[in-house]
Copies of this chain bind each other. A is one copy, B any other.
Amino acid sequence: MSDAEGQTRTRTISWEDPHAAAEAGRSLSGIEYLQKIIAGELARPPMGALMNFSIIEIGEGRAIFGAEPAEYHYNPNGTVHGGLAAALLDSAMGCAVHTLLPAGAGYTTLEIKVNYIRPMNRDTGPVRCEGTIIHAGARTATAEGRITDLRGKLYAHATTTCIVFRPGTEATKN
C-alpha cells in the first residue's frame, strides 16, 4: 500500500473456506468454538480478514474484538465508515451470546442498534470492541457493546437482540 496522496492504493486480502469452521462449530459449545478461532485452530472468518478485525478474548457472556482503523475503511467524508463499528459491534455482541450456548445450539441476530459517538480515523490507533450479555433467556438474548481506544475513549456503543435455537427444538427461519 502506498501512502503518497493522490495515488491508487492496493491491498491483497486472503481468507479460508468458511464452511470448514462452520462445520467444526456444530459439535462444539460456543466457548470451545470461539477459543479455537482465537488459538488459530479454526480460520478467522472472511469478513474479519476483509475488514482486518479479530476476536482476541472471550469469557462467559463476553467477547472482545480488536481492530486497527485504516484508510481502506474510509467513507466519503474522510473518516472511517460507520460500517466498521457496526461490523465489530455485531461480531462482539453476537459472540458474547454465543459463549453461553451449548453444543448444538445456535443463534441469529434479529437487530442491532449502534450509537456513533465520535469518528475513527487512521490516526486513532488500535481499538477494542467488547460485547457483554445483558439477558440470556430460553428463546432470546440481548447484549451490549462498546468500542474504545487504548486510552479508553468511547467511539461507539450498541445493543442487540438475538433469537436462540436450542438442541431439541427445530431450528427454522425467523
Tell me if A's interface is mostly helix, strand, loop or mixed: mixed
CB of A74 within 8 A of CB of B86, answer no
Q: Could you tell me the distance between the alpha carbons of A106 and B157 in the complex, rounded to whole angstroms?
A: 23
CB of B161 within 8 A of CB of A161, answer yes
Oligomer copy total: 4
Given contacts A82-B109, A118-B173, contact A12 B11 (CB under 8 A): yes
A99 within 8 A of B: no
- Seed contacts A5-B20, A22-B77, A83-B86; 16 additional CB < 8 Å A-B pairs: A9-B14, A11-B12, A25-B76, A37-B76, A45-B81, A47-B84, A51-B83, A83-B88, A115-B135, A117-B174, A118-B173, A137-B173, A138-B173, A138-B174, A139-B172, A139-B174
**Which chain A residues have a beta carbon within 8 Å of chain B's beta carbons?**
5-22, 25, 33, 37, 45-47, 49-51, 71-78, 80-84, 86-88, 90-91, 94, 106, 108-119, 134-135, 137-140, 142, 144, 154, 157, 159, 161, 163, 172-174
CB of B117 within 8 A of CB of A109, answer no
Q: Could you tell me the distance between the alpha carbons of A23 and B81 in the complex, rounded to whole angstroms?
A: 17
Q: Could you tell me the distance between the alpha carbons of A55 and B22 in the complex, rounded to whole angstroms?
A: 32
Q: Could you tell me the distance between the alpha carbons of A159 and B161 in the complex, rounded to whole angstroms?
A: 13
